[in-house]
Structure 1
């Protein structure tokens, strides 16, 4: 799954900002579950994407606010 996601995403963060510009980060990338694993998300190519650390942390904070423990 990891190799497929890396190739599909072009080895680049997939975050697209409000202006429609994709993040250019290509280092310190992290594999992110679109639907969080803890909430039943699968380890599949369709549910995993590359995000840089900055955008993954932002998403994590947003997810925690929407779905507190």
Structure 2
């Protein structure tokens, strides 16, 4: 469980970096695919499957960051 949360925390931090760097859609698509691959690999290795609300919370945080950074509230 700790590994799952750490990997997601690292990926969320990297999404902030992607937003601030002005990365293109191809980079975003590759990063999202990598994020899901790491999540499923961690779940497969550890046998931990998070509750469904975790996925919604992660996507809500990502969407909130996207809106805040896009509107210029952060950075």
The TM-score range, normalised by the shorter chain, is: 0.3 to 0.5
Structure having the larger proportion of residues in helix: 2
User: What TM-score does the superposition give when structure 2 sets the normalisation length?
Assistant: 0.33
Considering only CA atoms, is the larger Rg found in Structure 1 or Structure 2?
2
Structure having the larger proportion of residues in strand: 1
Greater RCO (CA < 8 Å, at least 6 residues apart): 2
User: What TM-score does the superposition give when structure 1 sets the normalisation length?
Assistant: 0.35
